[in-house]
Amino acid sequence: MNTKNYSLAFRRYRFVHITCYVVLFLSFGLCTIFPMTTMPGYVPILVGLLGIAALLWSAIGWIRILRNLERLSENLGKGQPGLSIARDSSPASILAKQCTETMRNSQGKIEESTERQNDISLKFQLVQKQKHSIEQIIHTIRDAVVVVDSFDRIVLANSAAEQVFRFSAQTAPSRPISEVINHHEFVAMMSHIRQSKLPHLKHELTIEKEDEKHIYDCILSCIRDEQQEISGVVAVLHDITREKEVSQMKNDFVSHVSHELKTPLASINAYAEMLVDGEAQDEEAIRQFCTVIQSQAQRLNRLIEDILNISRIESGLIKVDKQNLSMALLVRDAVEMITSYAQEKNITVHNPPAILYDQVYADKDMISQVIINLLSNAVKYTRQGGSISIDSQVNEADGIIRISVTDTGVGIPPEAVDHVFDKFYRVEENKKVAKGTGLGLNLVKQIVEKVHGGRVFVSSEVGKGSTFGFEIPMAAGQPVTTKA
């Protein structure tokens, strides 16, 4: 029902009520003035009855209105928009109808708005979830991430950043970076990139962490908003300490190797030139020069072989030729090879009698090289008049053969012992004692552990000597070879 109809109906209803009251008033008036008139006696009775009827009709109308309004109010209170009372055209019914309709419209709007609210709530939850997920991703990144706003206040910092700069990321948000991070250079860089508006800035930072200096590759980037204004800065710090160490080790290696290669090369070059220049004055001198050239060429070759072997073992490309061998025979041959070198330094080499069953399934050349490397190292780092002993032990229960070489040499400081098998590592204190590339023991470790599934070991005491050795599995019930 529209407003016009409702207004017309209500005016009509009001007219009827007013008429009732007029009739009632007139009937009372007539009754009052009746004694002063000549009207027949039934007229006031009729008028009175008419007035009473009008009063009753009006009262009934009011009662209906009030009752309908009461029911409407009850229904509205219960949240029921519909009313079944509006079957006539009374203002109450019309009002009820209109209220019902308004309520229906309102409920539709409420439902629509509730639906929209639910939708927004879902989207909000989704955004919250995505935010949490992104934060988790940032927190799990191993690189340190720090984000600041345009006022240099921390917006976000992940766990790695907490560890690097030692602060609590929970209390950090919204606080100025200079209060949270105690690293002047980093804080200044964050401020500098924001002010200079550079898109990116890359810098190497040194930060002390757990009493160790760590080097970080620090990349800073400006964050821009929709208006392309700088709204903050994000910094990512990647720990490159290990990479730097490896790089340094490689440089040291190249430097060592080039020195080691150049030494025999220098001899070859010098003696060849002497031959060319006729500086060898007799046949004996010529023979001596040629011998030197030959031995230095062999030395050069051994060095190159060592480097290549390590490289091949590491890359898994080495050709392994395993067979059943007697370890005692391999030790005996190695001792024979090293004897002249030991004699030059007046060093005694003790090799106990061979063990009866000491067969291993191994690559002969490789295991020979392991024993020779250990023996030559022992001679190299033992002073004149010292002694070296080789010990073989068989652990039948575990099926293992253990070879150890003990010397009375200079020994190794405790802090260096764990590193002696590292590639290119040389004990600083012993560098002056003998030359080396730092490759020999690494090759021993690679051959024993990678190729033969064994293990290497070392124990040492400065000034008293060292014991180097290895264990490899015994040949399991395979025939013993007669050649070694």
Considering CB under 8 A, how many residues would be counted as binding other proteins?
Answer: 25
- Complete edge-to-edge strand list for the sheet that includes strand 348-350: 348-350, 387-395, 400-407, 465-473, 455-461
> Which residue's CB is nearer to other proteins, number 281 or number 340?
281
Q: Rounded CA gap, 139 and 145, in Å? A: 8
400 touching other proteins, by CB under 8 A = no
- In the list 68, 93, 100, 267, the residue contacting other proteins (rule: CB under 8 A) is 267
296 touching other proteins, by CB under 8 A = yes
Name the helix (H) or strand (E) containing 372.
helix 364-380
Query: Helices marked H in 228-282 — which ranges?
Result: 241-276
Closest CA to 443 of 379, 376, 373, 380: 373
Helix, coil or strand: residue 224? strand
Closest CA to 433 of 369, 345, 337, 343: 345
382 touching other proteins, by CB under 8 A = no
Closest CA to 435 of 387, 372, 377, 391: 377
155 touching other proteins, by CB under 8 A = no
> Which residue's CB is nearer to other proteins, number 434 or number 462?
434
343 touching other proteins, by CB under 8 A = no
271 touching other proteins, by CB under 8 A = yes
Region from 89-97, 166-174, 225-233, 275-283 binding other proteins, contact rule CB under 8 A: 275-283
68 touching other proteins, by CB under 8 A = no
432 touching other proteins, by CB under 8 A = yes
265 touching other proteins, by CB under 8 A = yes
Q: Rounded CA gap, 18 and 169, in Å? A: 80
290 touching other proteins, by CB under 8 A = no
The phi, psi pair for 406, rounded to 5°, reads -110, 130
Name the DSSP letter for residue 449.
I
Region from 5-13, 16-24, 56-64, 279-287 binding other proteins, contact rule CB under 8 A: 279-287
Give how far Cα 404 sits from Cα of 213, 371, 407, Å.
38, 9, 10
> Which residue's CB is nearer to other proteins, number 281 or number 482?
281
Give the largest CA-CA distance in the chain: 186
Contact yes or no for 218/236 (Cβ under 8 A): yes
Tokens of 179: 């209060």
**Distance of closest approach, residue 296 Cβ to other proteins, in angstroms:** 7
- In the list 268, 325, 375, 444, the residue contacting other proteins (rule: CB under 8 A) is 268
> Which residue's CB is nearer to other proteins, number 31 or number 433?
433
Strand partners, 202: 219
Contacts of 216 (CB under 8 A, 6+ apart): 144, 164, 204, 205, 206, 207, 237, 238, 239, 240
Site string for other proteins, 224-263 (x = CB under 8 A): -------------------------------x--xx--xx
> Which residue's CB is nearer to other proteins, number 155 or number 292?
292
346 touching other proteins, by CB under 8 A = no
> Which residue's CB is nearer to other proteins, number 113 or number 258?
258
- In the list 111, 273, 336, 365, the residue contacting other proteins (rule: CB under 8 A) is 273
- The pairing of strands 387-395 and 348-350 is parallel
Site string for other proteins, 162-191 (x = CB under 8 A): ------------------------------
> Which residue's CB is nearer to other proteins, number 50 or number 433?
433
424 touching other proteins, by CB under 8 A = no
Angle between helices 283-315 and 241-276 (to 10 degrees): 160
> Which residue's CB is nearer to other proteins, number 55 or number 272?
272
270 touching other proteins, by CB under 8 A = yes
Contact yes or no for 402/472 (Cβ under 8 A): no
**Distance of closest approach, residue 253 Cβ to other proteins, in angstroms:** 13
Name the DSSP letter for residue 329.
H
Residues at the site binding other proteins, with contacts judged by CB under 8 A? 255, 258-259, 262-263, 265-271, 273-274, 277, 279, 281, 285, 292, 296, 431-435
